[in-house]
Amino acid sequence: MSQNNSSLIPWWKQTLLGILSLLIAAIIWLPSVHFFFTDDISQYFVKEGIAPKTRLIANRHLKLWTDPAFKAAEINKMRASNAEWDFMGRSFLVWSLANMGLRDPQFKPTALDIIDRITDETILLEKQKGVGFFLMNYFSPDEFKIKPVRSIFLDGEIALMLASRRMLEEKAEYKELLKERVDIMVERMNKSPVLSAESYQNECWTFDNCNALAAIRISDFLDNTDHSQFLSRWIATAKEKLIHPETGLLISCYTLFGSPLQGPEGSSIWMTAHYLQIIDEEFARDQYLRAKKELYKNVLGFGYSAEWPMSWEDRADVDSGPIVPIVGASAGASGLAIVGASAFDDKQFLSELLASLNLAAFPMKTGDTLKYAASNQVGDSALLYAMTLGPIWQKVNPVRDRSRLWHDR
C-alpha cells in the first residue's frame, strides 16, 4: 500500500507551506475585498433629482415623523444617550428635505409638511423646556459669559432650518423668526473678540459658529440684507486666531476670548468646510484639502477619516464616536466626511467611504426603507443630507465651480 506523500514532508515544512499559501491568498484577495462592498455611486449621489437609495433612507425618516409611536421610541432612544442627537437629527432632516423638495417638485408638498412639523415642534420645545432641553448634561447656565443664556448651537441650526424652508417656499411667519435669530446671533457673536458665541458655558464650537454664518448668509440672500462685512471679519479673525499652526486647520473649540480648548477634529472640520462654502469658497476649499491631507485614510480600498491629525490627539467623545484601534477610524468623523466629500464633489473619496459604510454600518433594507444598523437617527439623517445637498448652496452662490477643486491639487 503506497504511503501518503504528505507524510514524507516534515510537519514544520507543512506548517510553513500552509502559512505561505495563506499569505499568497491574502495578497491576491485582500486588495479586492472592497469590490464586494463598493456600490454604484449613482445609487446615492446624483446631480439632479433624488437617487434611489436616497429615497429609501428618506422614507424611513418620513415614517418616523408620521407615526407617533415610532417617533417617540426613536427619539427617546437617542435622548437616553445624548439630547443633542435628538436636535441634530431634526436639523439634518429639515435641511435634507428642503434640498429634496428643490430637486424634485413632486416631493415638495411632502417636504413642506414634514419640515413645518419638525421646525414648529422644535421651536416650541425650546420655548417650553428651555435652552438645556437639547443640550448635554454638563450644560451650566450660571457659567455662561454672555447673558441672557443662549446657545449658538441651537440658534444656528434653528436659523438654518427656517432659512432652508424659506429657500424651498416662502413662509411669512418664518421670515420674522429668522430675522430675530440672525439679529441675536450677530449681536452675541460681536461681543467676542473672535466673533463667536457660546454653545456651552465659555465654549465656542467652530461647527456651530460656522453653521450660524451659513444661516446668516442665506438670510441675506432671502431678505436682501447685508452682513458681508461681518462675515469677512469672521474669516479674517479665524485665519489669524483660530488656526492650528501645525496643520493650518481650524481648531474645533475655544473660549469666548479665543483660547484654544480643542484642536482640529474630523467630527468638526468636514462639516465646517461645507458651511464655509457659501461664505468664502477659497477658504472652504483650503480647509477641505487640508482635512483630506491630515485625516483621510484608506485601507485596502476602504476609505475613512481619523478624528485627529498626527500632530494633535485627544480622547474619544460623543462627537468622535468610538475610535477603531490601530487604524484610528472615527465613526463620527467618517460619517461627516461623506458630507464633505459630497460638498466638494470628491467622487473617489465618496466611493471609498461608501464601501466602508456598506462594510461596517450594516445596511438594512425593509420594504421601501433603508437604515444602517450601526447608526442612529442623527447618523442616518446626516447621510441623507450628504446625499441631497447642493440646491440651496447653489441658489445662494450660483457661480460656484466645484470642479476647480481638483485642477491644482
pLDDT at position 207, please?
Answer: 98
Residue 206 has pLDDT above 90, yes or no: yes
> Mean pLDDT over residues 149-168, rounded?
98
Please give the domain boundaries of the chain with CATH numbers for all domains: 44-294+372-406 (1.50.10)
- Give whichever of 34-38, 66-70, 364-368, 388-392 has the largest mean pLDDT: 388-392
Residue 325 has pLDDT above 80, yes or no: no
Between the alpha carbon of residue 134 and those of residues 3, 12, 22, 125, the distances in Å are 76, 63, 52, 9
> Mean pLDDT over residues 265-279, rounded?
97
pLDDT digits 0-9 by tens, 58-112: 999 999 999 999 899 988 888 888 999 999 999 999 999 999 999 999 999 999 9
pLDDT at position 116, please?
Answer: 98
pLDDT digits 0-9 by tens, 242-270: 999 999 999 999 999 999 999 999 999 99
3-state secondary structure the chain: CCCCHHHHCCHHHHHHHHHHHHHHHHHHHHHHHHHHCCCCHHHCCCCCCCCHHHHHHHHHHHHHCCCHHHHHHHHHHHHHHCHHHHHHHHHHHHHHHHHHHHHCHHHHHHHHHHHHHHHHHHHHHHHHHCHHHHCCCCCCHHHCCCCCCCCHHHHHHHHHHHHHHHHHCCCHHHHHHHHHHHHHHHHHHCCCCCCCCCCECCEEEHHHHHHHHHHHHHHHHHHCCCCHHHHHHHHHHHHHHCECCCCCCECCEECCCCCEEECCCHHHHHHHHHHHCCCCHHHHHHHHHHHHHHHEEEECCEEEEECCCCCCCCCCCCCCCCECCCCCEEHHHHHHHHHHHHHCCCHHHHHHHHHHHHHHCCEEEECCEEEECCCCHHHHHHHHHHHHCCHHHHHHCCCCCHHHHHCCC
> Mean pLDDT over residues 9-34, rounded?
50
d(CA 98, CA 111): 6
| The three cell numbers locating residue 4 | 501518503
d(CA 16, CA 80): 52
- The pTM score is 0.88
| The three cell numbers locating residue 246 | 501645525
Q: How confident is the model at residue 346 (pLDDT cuts 50, 70, 90)?
A: very high
pLDDT at position 402, please?
Answer: 47
Q: How confident is the model at residue 25 (pLDDT cuts 50, 70, 90)?
A: very low
d(CA 273, CA 285): 7
Minimum mean pLDDT range among 89-98, 163-172, 269-278, 355-364: 355-364
Average pLDDT over all residues of the chain: 88
Q: How confident is the model at residue 358 (pLDDT cuts 50, 70, 90)?
A: confident
> Mean pLDDT over residues 339-348, rounded?
96
> Mean pLDDT over residues 49-61, rounded?
96
pLDDT at position 16, please?
Answer: 56
Residue 11 has pLDDT above 70, yes or no: no
Q: How confident is the model at residue 40 (pLDDT cuts 50, 70, 90)?
A: confident
pLDDT digits 0-9 by tens, 283-317: 999 999 999 999 999 887 889 999 999 887 766 66
246 or 1: which carries more pLDDT confidence?
246
pLDDT at position 373, please?
Answer: 85
Percent of the chain with pLDDT over 90: 73
Residue 32 has pLDDT above 60, yes or no: no
| The three cell numbers locating residue 286 | 483650503
pLDDT at position 329, please?
Answer: 81
User: Do the beta carbons of residue 249 and residue 294 sit within 8 Å?
Assistant: yes
